[in-house]
Amino acid sequence: MAGLAHLVLALLFLLALLPPAARGTETPQYTTVHAESDFEVRRYRDTVWMSAPSDDISFHVATKLGFHRLFQYLMGANLNSSRIRMTTPILTSIVPGAGPLHSSAYFVRLYLPAKFQASPPVPLPELNLHPDRWPSHCIAVRSFSGYARDNNVVEEAEKLALSLSRSPWANSTNYPSKSAYSIAQYNNPFRIIGRLNEVWFDVECKSTGVEAY
């Protein structure tokens, strides 16, 4: 039975990470306000995400276990016993030095469908989940291919930081944020070619004349 449960979870994880175009999956809405060859800046609307905090010392493990808890919530482990549709991306926010022994802390998040944005079902206490309400703000985004792993997410974040330092957004990365950066994953784990991941930095909209609303 344990083997079957793991197989089912793996298949559902696969479905959860299918590209939005392939499943008609809901994604948070945004407008692109600036674009360059290696990054863009998006203005996201007010959104609510369900968040799974984790003190695991591995990005990969934190994402896997955090998603497991979120999946239980989606399947009805909430006070309303509501079934909630999958969304994309799977977003793992990374806070270096905030975990045990100065390791990184992680927050694995799923965007809640529009149906539940105003009133998210309350998760069961044992899942240790909580809703995160994000006001409209700007995010700098760099895309990268392959698998998002512990050995490349920091490198991709450093590349985005370098690109921003050479752009009009050089002094705009002090937007109040509890996360140093986030990694967004869009594809199922069995897709090898054409994978899409993104690294996200919060940036200050107003510093470049862009208003959040």
Q: Quote the pLDDT of residue 172.
A: 79
Tokens of 158: 């450093």
pLDDT value of residue 12: 53
DSSP 123: B
CA distance 44 to 139: 7
Q: What is the CATH number of domain 30-203?
A: 3.20.80.10
pLDDT score for 108: 97
What are the pLDDT tens digits along the chain (213 aa)?
A: 556 555 555 555 555 444 444 446 899 999 999 999 999 999 999 999 999 999 887 899 999 999 999 999 999 999 999 999 999 999 999 887 655 555 578 999 999 999 999 999 999 999 999 999 999 999 999 999 999 999 899 899 999 999 999 998 888 775 445 568 999 998 877 778 888 999 999 998 875 565 554
**Which position has the token pair 């539940």?**
116
State pTM to two decimals: 0.82
CA angle 137, 89, 39 (to 5 degrees): 55
Q: What's the rounded Cα separation, in Å, for the pair 170 and 112?
A: 31
Distance CA 23, CA 100 (A): 38
Contact 201, 173 (CB under 8 A): yes
Q: Which residues pair with 134 in a beta bridge?
A: 47
**Residue 194 CB burial class (10 angstroms; 0-12, 13-18, ≥19):** exposed
Per-residue HEC secondary structure of 56-79 comes to: CCCHHHHHHHHHHHHHHHHCCCEC
Sign of CA dihedral 116, 119, 124, 125: positive
